[in-house]
Structure formats: structure tokens, C-alpha cells
Amino acid sequence: MADPKGFLTTPRQEWPRRPVAERVHDWNEVQVPGALLPIVGPQADRCMDCGVPFCHEACPLGNLIPEWNDLVSREDWRAAADRLHATNNFPEFTGRLCPAPCEAGCVLAINQPAVTIKNVECAIADRAWEQGFAPPAPPDRLSGRTVAVIGSGPTGLAAAQQLTRAGHTVAVYERDDRIGGLMRYGIPEFKMEKRHLERRVEQMRAEGTKFRTSTTVGRDVEAAELRTRYDAVVIATGATAWRELTVPGRGLTGIHQAMEYLPLANRVCEGDLESSPLSAAGRHVVIVGGGDTGADCLGTAVREGAASVTQLDIYGRPGAERDEDAEPWPTYPKLYRLSAAHEEARDLRTAPAADADARLFAASTLRFTGDADGHVRSLHLVEVDAGRRPVPGTERTLPADLVLLALGFSGPDQGDGLIAQLRLELEPRGTIARDAGFATNAPGVFAAGDAARGQSLIVWAIAEGRAVAAAVDRHLTDGTTRLPAPIRPYDRPMTA
Ligand SMILES: Cc1cc2nc3c(=O)[nH]c(=O)nc-3n(C[C@H](O)[C@H](O)[C@H](O)COP(=O)(O)OP(=O)(O)OC[C@H]3O[C@@H](n4cnc5c(N)ncnc54)[C@H](O)[C@@H]3O)c2cc1C
Ligand code: SF4
């Protein structure tokens, strides 16, 4: 703690975003380039170096937050980068994309705005790349043992990097044509430019990890074959089976799942397509689902030039302040938050709601109606109470010629045959069952990330990848490992 009074003298200041009118005309990240570094030192100085740092406790990776805050305030960027990478393989991803449970748990947040931990993390990660503090770290010697990792999202990548660095020969199988999982074709470019992903993949290649893209395990290659070819298999296939909305009119054209829509916009950014076949340009867009996936659809539709965008949330509008009884500090509270996408829809008045917030809260979809060609034209909704019962007399109709369903995901996709071929046992909610050591019922086969945990966050996915790597390393060696295991399979975020 370079400045013991920092938290008293310096107000919280976040990495500023570019003006809405500018950023909606491109797909680049929303923050002002270069504007973080000048402010981040004094922000790190706000850290109180708590005796019991709840920021660290709230992070599934166990990030050494007070240590790197201190190192940043002393401008020792190399040491800060070392401490950051000691617990997180990909801090440039979490520094941009994490909802930061660490900040909700920050002790300063009891009566003041939290330390900008996520910004400090991002600044260290970016500086590490710029100054060459994150070179490839190939193993000194090979173990002669082999591992197949199925899925190249944050779980698979973290597991592969840990196991490669431990000396095992690792191949990552990915059904998409590019590496990255939901970070590649789900999360839009304006939240994280894909160059960050490319750089890490290059680092991993240089360390010796092999990548096999456009290969669906279960279809292009038999899962059982992988089991005989490799000493261990890690399933990190995510939870991509989307939830459906079974209301009248669902079969009309113009109604799509978020993960049918977002990948096409991402492919435009990758240069694969000139324009998206599902572009929102000139259309009245309604997004069903109030979560982050819905917000990603919102920001994408705004950039594509939608005539209007509305996002429906079945939950009531949350308060601006934490409910101390239901969600006390240091838990992660459900608050009214204005994401960059919501700000854009409001400022551009593409949102039709009364206060120009693109969101309608406590709104439940009743049915869709369409035109003579069978294309959706309207969405009919009703307001609901806290028990999701319709409030009489609140039915209304929204113009809708593109509807995007962002209702979450139920578990791993079973259409590829992987789960059936390995005869994997599932949990009642559809995720892959595993024991306390991340092992499935199939010998030598481990499961991690959203595929086993259920839909979660990137920070949990990286923690899962690191933890499953430790379990696999133990399986491949004499029962010992030097790899860290930050979480157990049944660990969950802190709740009251
Ligand atoms: C639109 C969207 C936005 C999100 N935004 C955020 C955010 O801002 N911050 C955050 O923390 N979290 C966010 N999340 C959640 C986060 O992306 C996931 O929790 C995380 O990516 C899970 O990682 P994973 O590696 O377990 O799975 P995934 O990222 O889903 O990766 C699984 C990979 O396995 C591949 N695969 C599946 N089956 C096979 C097979 N049979 N053979 C070969 N490959 C296969 C898939 O193609 C995929 O690439 C978002 C999710 C969505 C959908
Ligand atoms: S809880 Fe907040 S103030 Fe305390 S060590 Fe962590 S970041 Fe610093």
C-alpha cells in the first residue's frame, strides 16, 4: 500500500468509454484506448491491503489482488504481471469481460465505491503483453503422456495451457473453425477484440499445444477412439444447449436464438461475411431475456442499425442499492446496471420504453403474430408479479420483425454423440456428472467448465480449467501434482 490514505483522498474512477455516437459506428472495444494507464496507479492506491482481503475470497481464481494493487501503485509492472499470471492464465479476458465478483466483495465497498480491481487487472495484463512480460513458457522436459482436450473455450484453453506447461503433450479439439468457444463467436468484438484471443493462442502454440479445429468429437472422430489414443481426455464442451420459448407463433420466421444471431455478427467482424443474413438493420428488434447475452444482442443490433430495440426481462427492475438483507456484502448483488449496450440504446433513443431504457422489466411473452408470409410482426406481452403471475389489464403489443431469444442454456449439446459414445452419466439438470476429482464415470475421462458446472462465467471457466488440469496431472503421474487447483467441482459463488 504505497499511499495509506489513498482510499480517503482519491475517488473511484473507471476506464472511460468512448462517446456513444462514435462507438456505435464501429465494432472496436467501447473504452477509450490509452485512457486507462494514466489513471490506474492512483486507483490501485485506493486499496487498503486488508488483513482479510474479501476481494481475493470472492474470486474463484484466488487472484492475489492486494499484492498486485501494491505493485501497480509502486509501478513495478513486471512483478505485478508475475503475480497476476500466477493465478490466472488469461487476465486480459477477465480484465475485459468479468462482472468482477471481487469488486462486490471488496472491503472498501462496505461504505464507499470499490477499488477498480478489474481495471487494474486489465492494465497489468495489457502492459505485460506490450513489454514482453508474458513470453511462451514451454516445459523443460516432456512427460511422454498425452491429453486430448475437447472444446477450446476458456476452460479448455486454461486446462491445455496448464497441462502443456507441466510437460504433457496436449491436443485441443474444436468443432468450430476458430479457437475460443463463446469468447470467439458469442461475445461481441465491442466487449473484447479477438486480437487478444489470437495472441494467447499463438503463445500456446509456441509452448507446444496442438489445435485441431473444425473437428467435432463424436461425429468427425469417435470419442472412444480419443480415449484409446490419449492417456487422458478432458471434456470442456460448454453448455450450449439453449432454452426454448414455447409460446404460440414461435414457428414464425424472424425468431432466432441469440446464439444463431451473435455468431453471424462475429463472422462479419472476422471478415468471413460481408453482412449478417440476420442483420437487425432497419428492423424492430425485441430481445427476450434480460441477461448479459441479451445485452450482447442489444449492442449488436444497435451497431447494425436497428429501427428500435427492446429487451424483455421477466424479473422486476432491481434497485440501485444492494438489499442488505437478501444480498449482503460481500455477495454479488443483483443491481440495476447500465451496461455499455444499454447506454447506447438509451442515448440513441433506439429504445422505445418510457425512460428510453431498452429494458422492459417484469415482462412475459404471451405469443407472436405474423404477416401473411409467416414472418413475425408483433410480440404480445403481459406484466407479471414477483411470482410470475400475469397482472390483469397489462397486456400490450410491441412491433417486432426480428426476435432474439436469450433465455440461457440448459447444459451440454448432446446432438454430436460424444456423451452417448462415452456413456457418460449426467446430473438431473443435464450437466456431465463428475466426482470430487473432476473424473466422469468413464475411466481417464474428466469434465470441466460449463459442460459440468452449468452456464457460468469466464472466471469460473478458467478456474475449472486450472483445477481439472491438476486432477489430470495427478492421474498421469504418481498421484502428485504441482499444479494449483483453485476450486473444487462443487464450489459455488458466495451467497448469504
Ligand atoms: C453471448 C454470451 C456472452 C457472454 N458474456 C460473458 C461475459 O461477458 N463475461 C463472462 O464472464 N461470461 C460470459 N458468458 C459466459 C461465458 O462465455 C461461459 O461461461 C464460458 O465461455 C464457458 O467456457 P467453457 O470453456 O466451459 O465453454 P465454451 O466457451 O462454451 O466452449 C466450449 C467449446 O467446446 C466446443 N465443442 C462443443 N462440443 C464439441 C465437440 N463435440 N467436439 C469439439 N468441440 C466441441 C464448442 O464449439 C466451444 O468452442 C457469455 C456467454 C454467452 C453465451
Ligand atoms: S478487499 Fe478491496 S481494499 Fe481490501 S485488499 Fe481487496 S481490493 Fe484492497
Residue-range definition of the domain harbouring residue 435:
146-240+410-476
- With cut-offs at 50, 70 and 90, classify the pLDDT of residue 352: low
Which residue has its alpha carbon closest to ligand 2 atom 2?
106
Residue at 491 is within a domain: no
Question: Which of 10, 43, 54, 68 to mutate to test ligand 2, by most ligand atoms within 8 A of the CB atom?
Answer: 54
pLDDT digits over 42-65, tens only? 999 999 999 999 999 999 999 999
Residues 438 and 472 placed together within one structural domain of the fold: yes
CA 104, CA 66: separation in Å to the nearest integer? 15
Residue 285 has pLDDT above 70, yes or no: yes
Residues 315 and 401 placed together within one structural domain of the fold: yes
Residue at 310 is within a domain: yes
Starting at the edge strand found earlier in the chain, the sheet holding 445-447 runs 210-212, 169-173, 146-150, 232-235, 445-447
Residues 368 and 440 placed together within one structural domain of the fold: no
pLDDT digits over 221-248, tens only? 999 999 999 999 999 999 999 999 999 9
Q: Is 358 in the pocket of ligand 2 (CB under 6 A)?
A: no
Residues 189 and 88 placed together within one structural domain of the fold: no
Q: What percent of the chain has pLDDT over 70?
A: 98
Q: pLDDT value at position 355?
A: 64
| Residue 430: Cβ within 10 Å count | 15
Q: Which atom of ligand 1 is nearest to the CA of 215?
A: 43
Count how many domains the chain has. 3
Q: pLDDT value at position 465?
A: 98
Return the exposure string of 481-491: e unless at least 16 CB atoms fall within 10 Å of the residue's CB, then b: bebebbbebee
- With cut-offs at 50, 70 and 90, classify the pLDDT of residue 437: very high
Q: pLDDT value at position 36?
A: 97
pLDDT digits over 19-39, tens only? 999 999 999 999 999 999 999
Positions of E strands within 258-399: 284-288, 308-312, 359-360, 363-370, 376-383, 396-399
Q: What percent of the chain has pLDDT over 90?
A: 95
Starting at the edge strand found earlier in the chain, the sheet holding 255-257 runs 255-257, 402-405, 284-288, 308-312, 359-360
Q: Which three cell numbers stand for residue 384?
A: 407479471
Q: Which atom of ligand 2 is nearest to the CA of 54?
A: 1
Question: 111, 195 in Cβ contact below 8 A?
Answer: no
Residues 107 and 27 placed together within one structural domain of the fold: yes
Residue 351 has pLDDT above 70, yes or no: no
Question: Which of 88, 173, 187, 287 to mutate to test ligand 1, by most ligand atoms within 8 A of the CB atom?
Answer: 187
Say how far residue 275 (Cα) sits from the centre of its chain.
Answer: 25
* Whether pTM exceeds 0.85: yes
Residues 249 and 311 placed together within one structural domain of the fold: yes
CA of 65 to the centre of ligand 2 (A): 7
Residue 354 has pLDDT above 60, yes or no: no
Q: Which atom of ligand 1 is nearest to the CA of 151?
A: 34
The residues, any chain, with a CB within 8 Å of residue 252's CB and separated by 6 or more, are 368, 369, 370, 374, 375, 376
CA 362, CA 306: separation in Å to the nearest integer? 24
Closest ligand by atom to 58 CA: 2
CA of 135 to the centre of ligand 2 (A): 29
Q: CATH code at 447?
A: 3.50.50.60
Pairing relationship of beta strands 232-235 and 445-447 according to DSSP bridges:
parallel
Closest ligand by atom to 329 CA: 2
The radius of gyration of the chain's CA atoms, rounded to the nearest angstrom, is: 23
CA 54, CA 107: separation in Å to the nearest integer? 6
Residue at 118 is within a domain: yes
Closest ligand by atom to 55 CA: 2
Residue at 1 is within a domain: no
Residue at 138 is within a domain: no
Residue at 91 is within a domain: yes
Residue 430 has pLDDT above 60, yes or no: yes
Q: Is 1 in the pocket of ligand 2 (CB under 6 A)?
A: no
Please report, as a single letter, which amino acid is at residue 208. G
Closest ligand by atom to 240 CA: 1
The per-residue DSSP string of 90-152 comes to -HHHHHHH---HHHHH-GGGGTSPPP-HHHHHHHHHHHHHHTT-S-----SS--S-EEEEE--
Q: pLDDT value at position 350?
A: 67
Instruction: Give me the mean pLDDT over the 257-272 stretch.
Output: 98
Q: What is the mean pLDDT of the chain?
A: 96
Q: pLDDT value at position 357?
A: 86
pLDDT digits over 186-220, tens only? 999 999 999 999 999 999 999 999 999 999 999 99
Residue 349 has pLDDT above 80, yes or no: no
Pairing relationship of beta strands 241-242 and 409-411 according to DSSP bridges:
antiparallel
Q: For residue 242, report the phi and psi dihedrals to the nearest 5 degrees.
A: -80, 155
Instruction: Give me the mean pLDDT over the 89-101 stretch.
Output: 98
Taking each continuous run of H as one helix and of E as one strand, the counts in the chain are 19, 15
Question: Which of 96, 149, 155, 182 to mutate to test ligand 1, by most ligand atoms within 8 A of the CB atom?
Answer: 182
Q: 351, 374, 407: which is the final residue of a domain?
A: 407
Q: pLDDT value at position 180?
A: 98
Closest ligand by atom to 238 CA: 1
Residue at 347 is within a domain: yes
Question: Which of 458, 464, 487 to mutate to test ligand 1, by most ligand atoms within 8 A of the CB atom?
Answer: 458
Q: Among positive and negative, which fits the CA dihedral 294, 300, 303, 305?
A: negative
Residues 345 and 314 placed together within one structural domain of the fold: yes
Kindly list the protein residues whose Cβ atom lies closer than 6 A to any atom of ligand 1.
Answer: 97-98, 150-156, 173-176, 181-183, 186-187, 191, 216-218, 236-238, 240, 262, 292-293, 296, 413, 416, 418, 449-451, 455-459, 461
pLDDT digits over 461-476, tens only? 999 999 999 999 999 9
Residues 233 and 97 placed together within one structural domain of the fold: no
Residues 346 and 447 placed together within one structural domain of the fold: no
Q: Is 160 in the pocket of ligand 2 (CB under 6 A)?
A: no
CA 452, CA 99: separation in Å to the nearest integer? 21
In which region does residue 329 sit, left (phi positive, over 0), alpha (psi from -120 to 50) or beta (all else)?
A: beta
Q: pLDDT value at position 496?
A: 82
